[in-house]
């Protein structure tokens, strides 16, 4: 079964840091671009970042540039999102997503990040 499982979400104070992880199974992880997509409570979807198959190219939405870092470990079929200087507006469910043909075809269940003092 093709599956993405996220972890690492939780409660963090403004200005704090958090590292999200995602483990893939059921497909050859190293063959695909991967993305993080987030959704604030009651709001719409927002693409956050993506990374090329070999990690050589990384792209970010303007609002997280300089604060978030996407990375991957193909040997572990894992995707990561290091988040620093977190703000209230970063509070959201973060989805690990397979990026195929410029569409997001496989989604994880999401991990919730709460930014609050």
Partner 1 sequence: QSALTQPASVSGSPGQSITISCTGTSSDVGSYNLVSWYQQHPGKVPKLMIYEVTKRPSGVSNRFSGSKSGNTASLTISGLQAEDEADYYCCSYAGYSTFRVFGGGTKLTVL
Enumerate residues 6+ apart whose C-beta is below 8 A from 101: none
Handedness of CA 70, 88, 117, 7 (dihedral sign): negative
Q: How far is the CB of 75 from partner 1 (least distance, A)?
A: 26
Q: Is 104 in the site for partner 1 (CB under 8 A)?
A: yes
Asked if 50 is part of the footprint of partner 1 (rule: CB under 8 A), the reply reads yes
Residue 33 binds to partner 1 (criterion: CB under 8 A): no
Q: How many CB atoms lie within 10 A of CB 117?
A: 9
Decide whether 21 or 47 has the Cβ nearer to partner 1. Answer: 47
Q: What region does 52 belong to: left with phi over 0, alpha with psi -120 to 50, or beta?
A: beta
Query: Is residue 65 a contact point for partner 1 (CB under 8 A)?
Result: no
Among 30, 53, 59, 82, binds partner 1 (CB under 8 A): 59
Q: Which residue has the tokens 């050859």?
A: 28
Give contact residues for partner 1 (rule: CB under 8 A): 35, 37, 44-47, 50, 59, 61-62, 95, 101-105, 107-110
């Amino acid at each position: 079964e093709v599956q993405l499982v996220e972890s690492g979400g939780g409660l963090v104070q403004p200005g704090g840091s958090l590292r999200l992880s995602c483990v893939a199974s059921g497909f050859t992880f190293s063959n695909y671009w991967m993305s993080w997509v987030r959704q604030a409570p009651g709001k719409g979807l927002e693409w956050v970042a993506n990374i090329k198959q070999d990690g050589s190219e990384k792209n970010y939405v303007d609002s997280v540039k300089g604060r978030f870092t996407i990375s991957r470990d193909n040997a572990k079929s894992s995707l990561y999102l290091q988040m620093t200087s977190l703000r209230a507006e970063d509070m959201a469910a973060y989805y690990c997503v397979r990026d195929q043909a410029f569409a997001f075809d496989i989604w994880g269940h999401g991990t919730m990040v709460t930014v609050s003092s």
